[in-house]
Structure 1
């Protein structure tokens, strides 16, 4: 991989698919994708992130985001929620989703999560921050 950020749907999905392929080829522990932070949505701190490892997506969501994620999964019937963890000290829920598919389908899901779950618009910027 030689590029690590994109801001159009086509470029993001290509970037995410390349990251999945690089992750698999390298046998790395995980890959991380981050989206830009939106002050009116996210407040302070980093923007939303998604990790992928061992055919599993990992992400943190609020209650409302979890509802949207469950709705999105209807578009990806081959993916399923395997674990929900809500520690008392945390404000949200950590979600693990089993996702056995090819790099392009995984990339499409990741892009849809940022838009449908985390409220990013079509032109949001995303970075692959770890492979």
Structure 2
């Protein structure tokens, strides 16, 4: 993508006061929602130029190339912008699990009408195996 087209795209997006936009990651084949994270302009640029999904880590205040430490990376299939231009849908080929808890998806707790919570997916990889002794 040319610099002009990229600049036009980025200037059309509605970032929040911190310069971030929500990004929802969806498995391109299965259609399940894997996670929600944040992107800034640089994360979008790196994602589009590299084909590997990159986010902004609010806790680390740094770019976060998904899978950099765990090996559970996301290959970009498509980047879709919603009608209000304030949310991004990132269709990905997920390599491994998406969640730092070792589950395929970060969305694994179902809440019933009476408020009971049930875990609806199992841990596939022990987080210690993903990150060693680092906190997740």
* TM-score (ref. length: structure 1): 0.31
Q: Which has the higher helix share?
A: 1
The higher relative CO (CA closer than 8 Å, separation ≥ 6) is in: 1
Larger Rg: 2
* TM-score (ref. length: structure 2): 0.30
